[in-house]
Amino acid sequence: MTTGPNAASPHARVLADSNKVPWLGLGVWQVPDGPECVNAVRWALELGYHHIDTAQAYGNEESVGRALAESGVPREKVFVTTKFNPNGKKPDVEAERSLKRLGLDYVDLYIIHWPKGGPTWAWPGMERARELGYARSIGVSNFNVDELEKLFAVATVYPVINQVKFSVFEYRRKLLDAAEARNVALEAYSPLGTGSYLSDPTVTRVAERNGRTPAQVLLRWCVQHGLPVLAKSTHRERLAENAQIFDFVLSDADMADLDALDTTGRTDRAVESAWW
Ligand code: A2P
């Protein structure tokens, strides 16, 4: 069981294929293409983020690419993820288009955004994208245990990440355990409940007990469970706040209080209701 940042992996989680994903990333879901997105990515890079998560479906890969280019940060210092939009047909062809929009030679991680049309049909194209050097690592998103198992049954190269909605209120314990058993890292999106969990009384109490903010507690809880976590903000001061999660540790009692907020019954599902 991976237990989060520790002496062996303080900054990044080592994936099954030996690539390393930084524990904290900036997610740009719902950030419009243009100055807002360019600024968010630029500030994040200035503040020491080394991990940016975008997607074909977000429509903002060009802004991410612009900020990366303008930042002057060496390419190998940033972990960039994009996602195959399964409304398309050919993951390898779409990866090449993403690279053009991003202005990059490769992404660090390329994942199937959701299992539209079933969990396996797109995988050969994902493997091809990796073979062609478009992506260092490949994985999935929004896959439940059953879908992961079906994919493992046919894959030549196994997925190394499953990115899912994961938070104190969505503590998908059975999905986490099954993923870990396969050496698939779950990665958390919407850890703040798109902002709605920040005022929860238990979260606030734990934050006060630790002299931290609710956002820092919600993010730290994810990494202490071994999940690389994506936080979204378009405000520089919030990006700075969210990055301060590696200089404190939630106690076992704090973790237990937060674990108890789960509303999913420790589910093995990745989503409560499919949008596809
Ligand atoms: P904004 O982008 O206006 O700063 P999630 O990561 O769960 O999707 O949550 C993202 C939402 O939480 C966004 O609406 C973002 O707003 C807000 N947010 C992110 N970080 C913080 C923070 N440290 N304090 C308050 N709100 C935050």
For 121-142, the pLDDT digits (tens) are 999 999 999 999 999 999 999 9
- Which mutation among 192, 204, 227 tests ligand 1's pocket best, with the greatest number of atoms within 8 A of CB? 192
Q: Tell me, what's the pLDDT at 6?
A: 85
Q: Which of 13-17, 257-261, 272-276 has the lowest mean pLDDT?
A: 272-276
Q: Tell me, what's the pLDDT at 3?
A: 76
CB 231 near ligand 1, within 6 Å: yes
| Atom in ligand 1 nearest the alpha carbon of residue 231 | 6
What's the mean pLDDT in 188-194? 97
Distance between Cα 232 and ligand 1 center (Å): 6
CB 198 near ligand 1, within 6 Å: yes
What's the mean pLDDT in 8-22? 94
Angle at 136 between CA 131 and CA 137, to 5 degrees: 100
CB 234 near ligand 1, within 6 Å: yes
CB 195 near ligand 1, within 6 Å: yes
| Pairwise CA distance, residues 229 & 187, whole Å | 6
Span 88-97, pLDDT tens digits: 999 999 999 9
Span 210-221, pLDDT tens digits: 999 999 999 999
What's the mean pLDDT in 103-114? 98
Computed over every residue of the chain, the mean pLDDT equals 97
Judge whether 158 counts as a catalytic residue.
no
Determine the CATH number of domain 17-200+222-236: 3.20.20.100
| Pairwise CA distance, residues 5 & 53, whole Å | 20
Distance between Cα 186 and ligand 1 center (Å): 21
> From the CA atom positions of the chain, what is the Rg in Å?
18
Span 24-49, pLDDT tens digits: 999 999 999 999 999 999 999 999 99
Q: Tell me, what's the pLDDT at 125?
A: 98
| Pairwise CA distance, residues 105 & 128, whole Å | 15
Res. 275: pLDDT tops 90: no
Distance between Cα 96 and ligand 1 center (Å): 31
| Atom in ligand 1 nearest the alpha carbon of residue 242 | 23
For the chain, give every domain's residue range. 17-200+222-236
Res. 8: pLDDT tops 80: no
Higher pLDDT, 11 or 148: 148
| Pairwise CA distance, residues 264 & 89, whole Å | 33
| Pairwise CA distance, residues 56 & 88, whole Å | 10
The fraction of the chain above a pLDDT of 70, given in percent, is 99
| Pairwise CA distance, residues 195 & 145, whole Å | 27
Span 53-74, pLDDT tens digits: 999 999 999 999 999 999 999 9
One-letter amino acid at 136 equals R
- Which mutation among 37, 189, 233, 234 tests ligand 1's pocket best, with the greatest number of atoms within 8 A of CB? 233
Q: Tell me, what's the pLDDT at 1?
A: 62
Whether the full predicted model's pTM is greater than 0.75, yes or no, is yes
- CA 66 remoteness from chain centre: 21
CB 193 near ligand 1, within 6 Å: yes
Res. 9: pLDDT tops 90: no
**Catalytic option among 58, 110, 189, 197:** 58
- What is the SS3 assignment for 218-245? HHHHHHHCCCCEEECCCCHHHHHHHHCC
